[in-house]
Amino acid sequence: MRRGRWAELGDLAAVVGTGGVIRVAELEGLGVARSTISARCQPGGPWRRVLPGVISLFTGYLTARQRSIAAVVYAGPGAMLSGRAALAEYGVGRHSGDVQVLVSAGRRVQSAGFVVIERTTRMPDAVDRAGIPCAPITRSVLDAARRCTTVDSARALIADIVQRGAASPRDLSTELEQGSGRGSALPRTVLREVLANVHSAPEAAARTLWMRSGLPAMVFNVDVVDADSRFIARPDGWIDAVALAWEIDSFEWHLSPASYQETVQRRNAMQSLGIVVLSSIPRTLKDEPDRVIADLRAHFALASSRPRPSVRIHPVRSR
């Protein structure tokens, strides 16, 4: 294509089909002179450089998806998204931070701008998400969790994935064991909680306090049924030895009148059958742990002092 003929293509962004993001080399392959590219990327021009060797065919800010496209375009053939950027392509959360990209160990491409390059000897098969190659969701969530700086952020991330049914704890554990040990401490801690059926940060805090209490075994998020196998409730924590239920009451949950009514009905159903119920709020788990442990022990003593009601739990299903 002779110099200048690229203009006959009309909407160049539509022609290249990459969200308006393209490598300089591809533009040159379309017949765009390097001097033209430089001129159009000058201040006030219609294009701009977003990464080394990568141009956006517009001047506005990149959307999160355009950033992801630009990252993969920059990293070159065989690269794929991972971490939170990939999770966003799976419909899990939003992402506006650095874009994590996997490349094979032999590649020399470097991190640049908002792109974090991670070389790996375990390149997975890419999953196409509307035209963007992404690592499988188990790899993506663990790559994201390895970059978390607190256990709470790792816990929220992994618990969200598990609760959505997007990945099972077993699959995540397998992926973690097969992958790099670098940065694996936090996801390993969280997966131990999730495998114990702990679903949220307050429940994880509750589990920690129960472990300090010296009380008998507690299970989490199991169905409690009556003598006729009719469902009663699914308390956050349950000590089956004495039929003691532990409920972690979230203020946000109670902002909904319907949810508050459901909480009251569930608690009434348990208490009407003789189940002892302890209610705690997330703030006290963090701010007054000794008081919570004392409450837990006191309610255990109360539950131990009366005949155990005829209720039972369904076995915890392995996932």
Per-residue pLDDT of the chain (319 residues; tens, 9 = 90+): 344 555 544 555 555 556 788 999 888 888 888 899 999 999 989 999 999 999 998 888 888 999 999 999 999 999 999 999 999 999 988 887 899 999 999 888 999 999 999 999 999 999 999 889 999 999 999 999 988 888 888 888 887 888 788 888 888 888 888 877 777 888 888 887 776 666 667 777 888 899 999 999 999 888 999 999 999 998 989 999 999 999 987 644 334 455 567 778 888 999 999 999 999 988 888 889 999 999 999 999 999 999 999 999 976 444 4
- Give dist(CA 318, CA 219) in Å, integer: 13
- Give dist(CA 296, CA 284) in Å, integer: 12
What pLDDT is recorded for position 256? 46
| Residues carrying CATH 3.40.960.10, the chain | 201-313
CB–CB of 81/125 below 8 Å? Answer: no
- Give dist(CA 69, CA 50) in Å, integer: 11
- Give dist(CA 109, CA 118) in Å, integer: 10
CATH entry, 201-313, from 3.30.43.10, 3.40.630.10, 3.40.960.10, 3.90.550.10: 3.40.960.10
What is the pairing mode between strands 54-56 and 48-51?
antiparallel
- Give dist(CA 114, CA 155) in Å, integer: 25
Q: What is the pTM of this model?
A: 0.63
What pLDDT is recorded for position 246? 95
CB–CB of 161/129 below 8 Å? Answer: no
* Both structure tokens of 35: 């001097």
